[in-house]
Every structure is written in C-alpha cells, then in structure tokens.
C-alpha cells in the first residue's frame, strides 16, 4: 500500500503525537481517513489497549467516539504504543480559543464580537454530547470493555484516585499531600447512579460539522463516576488552563470561559445544584493536572503538557486554594 495522504501533524496531543493520513488501496475498514495516536514510550503498557477498548465500546453503543482499527502496545514499531482510528469530520467547539492565540489583537477583537453566537452553538452541542454520554448503560459499557480484556474496575473513580495518590508518592510530590488529604476528608456522598464520564470533557474535545455533533475525542481519562465528575472537571479546566491572548483581553476571555463551563453545568438534568460535589471534582481535576506536571518534570520534560509552566501551575495552585482554603505546591 501507499499513502493517499501523507502523515501530517494535527493540533492537540499534549501527551501523544497525533497524525492524520490515509492509504491508497487499503481494505476495509482502513480505507477512509485515519488518525494515528502515538504515545510516549514510557506510558502505561495498558494505555493503548484501554483507549481502544473504551472508544470501541462507546462506538458500539452508538456514541460518536472514533472507532479504533489497530492497537499496538509495544514500542518497537514506532517508538511508542499507538492506536490507529477513524478520522471523524468536524472541528473542535473551542476552535475560537485556539484562533485567538495566533491571530493577534485586531483579529482577536473580531473573534470576540462573534462569541455570543459561538457560545450558543457550543453550549448546544456540548450539552448534547454530555447528555448522550451520561445516558449510556454503564453495565453494557463495562461488558464490552471487559470482553476486550480491560477490567471495568480500573475505570472506577476509586481506582483513579488510588492511582493518583500512588503517582504523587512515587514522584515525591509532598507539596500535594494537603489536597489529597482534603479529597479524602470531603468525599461527597453519592446520591445518584454512577455514569460514564469522559474526564476531560471540554470544548476542544468535542467535534462538530455544520452544526452537527460528529465526534468526541481523547478518552484517556475515562472514569465511571458521579455525574458531577465531568462538570467539575470542565469548570476547573476552563478556569485554570493558560490562555494565549493579548493581555488586555485576558480577563474578558477568562470570564467568558468560566461562564461557559458553569452554564453547561446548570443545563444538566442530572446535576440538581450539587455545589459541594462540583467543588470536590474541581479540586480533584486540579490535582490530576499537577500530578501530570510533577511526573513530566521528574522525567526531565520541563515543558511538556499544557499546564507545565509557571503560569499553568500558579493557576492550579490558586484555584485549589480558592475552593478549599488549602495551599499546595510542586517542586520546580
């Protein structure tokens, strides 16, 4: 076979290299547009099989997750584990945010004038994607991933939290212990049935084409958890992720993002005013981001990841303090 479209780097992929390509004369099901997601060589050996199992289980249940056709857990072929999946059409709902970074001041103001319309469309499609995900039957999802060789227990919130604590200890992140202790002490009482949660359900991971939801990507943090888990994560991400706009626009852009995430949470039918749970899962998400930064730094990767900068870490530290009153820190 030959390339009909040579591999080209796509945006995103802070912990993986993402390439788009297509093949000439390929058999089904790899005859259409494809995406290679190539992980770093030191990732968990189950990373590729787990993401493949999750995405194929969701696709099998009728959810718009890209189907995975090839899974390789070994590093010999391409230097890291990888998956090859279908390339769904569409652009991320948050494309306006990325555009602001590269267009400069004049174009940024032009984009801001268009944000009210973009906001309505983003919320409509984001809400649709979240509602459809939380409506899926958890038991059927777990059955499908277990048939693919992945234990459903590994996707529970308890397993997620335990892994996070183990990583913090492994990499000597003692400055995060106050947040871990706070999370142990303030665990909300579960009042609703656990649902399938994306774990990073922010607009850049939701794709749409001509006003139609076409796909949801980046399933590395999939967790079976309280419905508030995804909403809390989204609020924390949009409140803390570094944004690259001219300084005069920074405050307005952050206010827009905060309002977007909180409006998305208010639209939830499964989230009747659970402020304590939303606060809890915001702190948890910030801890996830800080452990990731700490792990990267321990491996000598001082700039990898969207939060691995003085501004990114400060945003996380300040948000945790605002929510919980505790002070956390990361080694430089």
Range of the domain at 107: 91-324
The total of other beta-carbon atoms located within 10 Å of residue 274's CB is 21
CATH, residue 260: 3.90.1200.10
- Residue 185 structure tokens: 């002490």
Residue 175 domain-assigned? yes
Q: Same structural domain for residues 181 and 154?
A: yes
Percent of the chain residues topping a pLDDT of 70: 90
> What pLDDT was estimated at residue 113?
73
For 16, the 3-state DSSP assignment is strand
Q: Which residues are within 8 A (CB) of 138 and not within 5 positions of it... i.e. 6 or more apart?
A: 193, 194, 195, 196, 224
Residue 124: which of 236, 230, 196, 203 has the closest Cα?
203
Q: Same structural domain for residues 158 and 55?
A: no
Q: Same structural domain for residues 149 and 192?
A: yes
Residue 73 domain-assigned? yes
> What pLDDT was estimated at residue 102?
40
Q: How far is CA 169 from CA 165, 166, 211, 299, in A?
A: 6, 5, 45, 15
Residue 330 domain-assigned? no
Residue 288 domain-assigned? yes
CA angle 227, 232, 238 (to 5 degrees): 140
Task: List, for residues 19-42, the tens digit of each pLDDT value.
Answer: 999 999 999 999 999 999 999 888
- Residue 216 structure tokens: 């949801």
Q: Number of folded domains in the chain? A: 2
Q: Same structural domain for residues 99 and 78?
A: no
Least confident residue range of 134-138, 214-218, 252-256: 252-256
Q: Same structural domain for residues 102 and 233?
A: yes
Residue 156 domain-assigned? yes
Q: Same structural domain for residues 125 and 265?
A: yes
* Pairwise CA distance, residues 252 & 230, whole Å: 24
pTM for the whole structure: 0.91
> What pLDDT was estimated at residue 101?
47
Q: Same structural domain for residues 64 and 202?
A: no
- Residue 251 structure tokens: 């405050």
Q: Same structural domain for residues 35 and 150?
A: no
Q: Same structural domain for residues 201 and 254?
A: yes
Q: Same structural domain for residues 154 and 63?
A: no
Contact 51, 220 (CB under 8 A): yes
Task: List, for residues 153-193, the tens digit of each pLDDT value.
Answer: 999 999 999 999 999 999 999 999 999 999 999 998 876 78
């Amino acid at each position: 076979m030959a390339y009909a479209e040579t591999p080209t780097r796509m945006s995103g992929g802070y912990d993986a290299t993402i390439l788009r390509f297509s093949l000439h004369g390929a058999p089904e099901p790899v005859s259409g547009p494809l995406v290679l997601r190539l992980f770093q060589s030191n990732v968990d050996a189950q990373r590729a099989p787990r993401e493949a199992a999750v995405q194929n289980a969701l696709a099998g249940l009728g959810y718009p997750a890209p189907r995975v056709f090839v899974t390789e857990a070994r590093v010999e072929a391409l230097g890291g584990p990888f998956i090859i999946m279908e390339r769904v059409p569409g652009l991320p709902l948050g494309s306006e945010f990325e555009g602001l970074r590269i267009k400069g001041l004049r174009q940024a103001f032009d984009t801001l004038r268009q944000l009210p319309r973009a906001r309505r469309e983003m919320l409509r499609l984001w809400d649709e994607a979240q509602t459809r995900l939380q409506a899926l039957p958890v038991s059927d999802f777990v059955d499908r991933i277990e048939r693919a060789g992945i234990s459903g227990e590994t996707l529970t919130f308890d397993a997620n939290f335990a892994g996070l604590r183990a990583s913090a200890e492994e990499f000597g992140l003692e400055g995060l212990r106050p947040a871990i202790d706070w999370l142990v002490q303030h665990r909300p009482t579960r009042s609703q049935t656990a649902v399938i949660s994306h774990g990073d359900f922010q607009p850049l991971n939701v794709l749409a084409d001509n006003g139609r939801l076409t796909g949801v990507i980046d399933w590395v943090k999939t967790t079976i958890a309280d419905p508030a888990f995804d909403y809390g994560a989204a609020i924390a991400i949009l409140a803390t992720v570094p944004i690259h706009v001219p300084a005069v626009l920074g405050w307005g852009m952050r206010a827009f993002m905060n309002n977007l995430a909180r409006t998305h949470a208010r639209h939830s039918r499964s989230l009747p005013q659970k402020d304590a749970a939303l606060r809890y899962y915001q702190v948890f998400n910030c801890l996830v981001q800080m452990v990731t930064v700490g792990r990267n730094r321990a491996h000598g990767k001082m700039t990898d990841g969207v939060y691995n900068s003085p501004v990114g870490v400060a945003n996380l530290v300040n948000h945790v303090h605002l929510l919980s009153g505790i002070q956390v820190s990361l080694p430089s």
